[in-house]
Amino acid sequence: MVSLKSIARKSHFSIPKDATVEDAIDRMHKNRGGCVVLLDDEDIPVGIITESAVIKLLNSHLPTCTPALDICVTKVITANENRPIDFAFDFLSENKIRRFVLTDNDQHFAGIVMQEDLFDYLEEDVYKIDLKISDIVIPGQELVTVGGEASIETALTLMQKHGIGSVLVGAAPYAEGIITEKDIIGLAFAHVSLDEKVSAYISSPLATVTRKDTVTSAIERMRRGGFRRIVVVDEKRRCIGMLTDRDILRQIRGNYTRMLQSKIRHSQEIMDMLPEAIIEIFETSDNQIVHWMNRRAMEMFGDRFIDREPKEMFEVKDWDAIHASLSENSVVSGYKVGIDDMVFEISGSVSLAGNNRYIKLIFKDVTIHETAKRDLRARIDEEIDKRMAQEFMLMQQSKLATMGEMIGHIAHQWRQPLAQLGGIFMNIDAAVMFDELSPKEMKERIRQGNMLIKYMSRTIDDFRHFFEPAGKRKPFDLHLYVENAIQIIQASLTFHHIVVDFRRDQSPIHITGYPSEFSQVVLNLLANAKDILVERHISKPRITITTEILEEKDGRKRARLIVEDNGGGIDDAHLEKIFDPYFTTKGNKKGTGLGLYMSRLIIESKMKGTIHAKNGPQGAVFVVEIPKE
């Protein structure tokens, strides 16, 4: 990719702002570019001196020790060095100049671009289209001529009077040579007197073309000779016109513009009418620069990003992601970025124009949509918080209900040892009354009482451990915590003559989760089965517990727990509702409707498993499956 900095001239094109005109003449003689730029202490351009300004000073007989800044009458026109080559053609024509100054991103001097430098970068088809000299030279053009015996000063006066950069020397309409502003600069550098005859210092013979010649031939001759102008002659060698590089560029600019479809004015006008902001980025092998913006983009962002790198518009990570997509796929679509408290969806593509590479990006304003999404997300988070608070409340209610049930289980567990302890006391009382209590018998009764008290104490410990708060997830033996749940409710089951058949393998099944909460689920299932067996007066009531390991096709394993009773099953009308909160078939005084709801919450949310119910041949079947980690 060709940027302006790749063709810039810099050597001998600048002087300090406090330099003299003589210093300027010295630099112009060396650079052969017809100008010199004045720089301040920070290398920022503050003025430009052209050959015309020097000619005017010489013609006014002012000393060359005059400060150069005093004759700076031409405005310094600058462009960023990273602009593409084709930018220069429009820029020179629109500003009616033949050169402009380049600056870097910090406005420091980076060189000069001359219009004659651009011919090497024009595609041949631009001007090799049978374009003739006659298509460019204005008929009846007046040529300024001076006789060979005239002085150099006379030539200077004519140049200044007519605002031209050269005069022909000889007897019109013929000419033996030409003297230009560049020649005058060389004479001033050599301190040649202005009273000398002009014929002694002319460029001769003349570089000429005819009206029938092509523009291509004129360009080639100007390139070879390093000329900025060429004389047009007729078939009798009479001078009939002057052709400059500016004339050629002005004429072929339209052809070049038409070839670069991405840069034609009509395209930009269309993009200016679009409601979306559009920017164009010119890219080289080592740089990108925001080259152009449509009207909507200018309204949104102003011109602060023009001639700046895209990373000054986007966050670095966003631009890297956009550029990576463009590099890999030549397009980018729907990438969201934030700019100035606004949110945009970026879409775009890469195109080639001549030798240059351009990135066009379209900005779709989705700020309102994103704000609505943020508001919705906030409402969702709020609802989740409310739901979690509600679930916490339900869990507390469930714990309170479970604690009430636990008191009943404790009563069943303690009923027999309390009765036995009472019997011991009665036996001691009778023995004392009849004076039959020996020390040995007293010691034995005390031993029996202590054993019953220790049993009751262990029972309290079992219940205390059951209600330990859930900590971190940890591995545990599924069988062990099923047995813990059975042990807690065993006395109640025994009181109602309910048999528990725990069918388990000898090898343990290890799963990962919250063991005390898992025991609570098993206890809920056992308690529900007990209640239905007692309520329906089932003869030979039985609860069967089965465990097994299931292996998936992908090698993953699950632990399955099945709790089945012979209580006749669940009413089909209730089967889909039994896990809903506050749903119960026991009546308000016997159930809260939270046991199965909390069981599902524990298994699905905390254990990452599943729980469901169905009716088996003899009664309800609850199936719990948990991933085996």
Do 136 and 48 sit in the same domain of this protein? no
Least confident of 31-35, 205-209, 445-449, 528-532: 445-449
Is 50 exceeded by the pLDDT of residue 261?
no
Least confident of 351-360, 371-380, 459-468: 459-468
Single residue among 257, 287, 310 that ends a domain in this structure: 257
Do 25 and 145 sit in the same domain of this protein? no
Is 70 exceeded by the pLDDT of residue 117?
yes
Do 198 and 245 sit in the same domain of this protein? yes
Q: How far apart are the first and last CA of the chain?
A: 58
Question: For residues 559 and 155, what is the distance between their CA atoms, to the nearest angstrom?
Answer: 107
Task: Give the CATH number for residue 281.
Answer: 3.30.450.20
Residue 27 CB-density burial (10 A; 0-12 exposed, 13-18 middle, 19+ buried): buried
Higher pLDDT, 429 or 82: 82
- State residue 593's pLDDT score: 60
Least confident of 247-256, 283-292, 585-594: 585-594
User: Does some domain include residue 372?
Assistant: no
Give mean pLDDT, residues 500-523.
86
Which phi and psi (to 5°) does residue 201 adopt?
-130, 20
- State residue 409's pLDDT score: 60
Higher pLDDT, 214 or 14: 14
Task: Give the CATH number for residue 149.
Answer: 3.10.580.10
Least confident of 251-260, 328-337, 426-435, 444-453: 251-260
Structurally, the chain folds into a number of domains equal to 4
Give mean pLDDT, residues 543-567.
91
- State residue 477's pLDDT score: 92
Integer angstrom CA distances of residue 628 from 123, 247, 517, 548? 71, 85, 17, 11
Which residue range forms the structural domain that includes residue 346?
A: 265-365
| Distance, CA of 147 to chain centre | 71
Higher pLDDT, 526 or 94: 526
User: Does some domain include residue 535?
Assistant: yes
Do 343 and 405 sit in the same domain of this protein? no
Do 430 and 530 sit in the same domain of this protein? yes
Do 271 and 198 sit in the same domain of this protein? no
Least confident of 286-290, 388-392, 533-537, 605-609: 388-392
User: Does some domain include residue 387?
Assistant: yes
Do 101 and 151 sit in the same domain of this protein? no
Do 101 and 164 sit in the same domain of this protein? no
Tokens 């962002």 locate to: 301
User: Does some domain include residue 370?
Assistant: no
Do 106 and 175 sit in the same domain of this protein? no
Nearest to 16 by CA among 67, 71, 79, 53: 67
What's the pLDDT tens digit per position in 278-326?
A: 999 888 777 888 988 888 889 888 888 888 889 888 988 999 999 999 8
Give mean pLDDT, residues 92-113.
88
What's the pLDDT tens digit per position in 401-421?
A: 566 566 666 665 566 567 667
Where does the pLDDT of residue 178 fall: very low under 50, low under 70, confident under 90, or very high at 90 and above?
very high
Neighbours of 484 (CB within 10 A): 18
Single residue among 87, 118, 149 that ends a domain in this structure: 118
User: Does some domain include residue 417?
Assistant: yes
Q: What is the mean pLDDT of the chain?
A: 82
- State residue 590's pLDDT score: 54
Task: Give the CATH number for residue 473.
Answer: 3.30.565.10
What's the pLDDT tens digit per position in 191-223?
A: 999 899 998 998 888 888 888 888 888 888 887
- State residue 615's pLDDT score: 94
Do 182 and 235 sit in the same domain of this protein? yes
Least confident of 2-16, 74-88, 444-458: 444-458
Is 90 exceeded by the pLDDT of residue 254?
no
Do 493 and 408 sit in the same domain of this protein? yes
Give mean pLDDT, residues 226-241.
86
Nearest to 92 by CA among 288, 245, 258: 245
361 within 8 A of 350, measured Cβ to Cβ: no
Encoded amino acid at 412, one letter: H
- State residue 455's pLDDT score: 65
Nearest to 517 by CA among 554, 456, 472, 549: 472
Where does the pLDDT of residue 438 fall: very low under 50, low under 70, confident under 90, or very high at 90 and above?
confident
Where does the pLDDT of residue 259 fall: very low under 50, low under 70, confident under 90, or very high at 90 and above?
very low
- State residue 84's pLDDT score: 83
Single residue among 257, 275, 308 that ends a domain in this structure: 257
Is 50 exceeded by the pLDDT of residue 125?
no
Do 387 and 418 sit in the same domain of this protein? yes
Where does the pLDDT of residue 118 fall: very low under 50, low under 70, confident under 90, or very high at 90 and above?
confident
Model confidence, pTM: 0.48
Give mean pLDDT, residues 105-131.
73
Give mean pLDDT, residues 242-270.
61
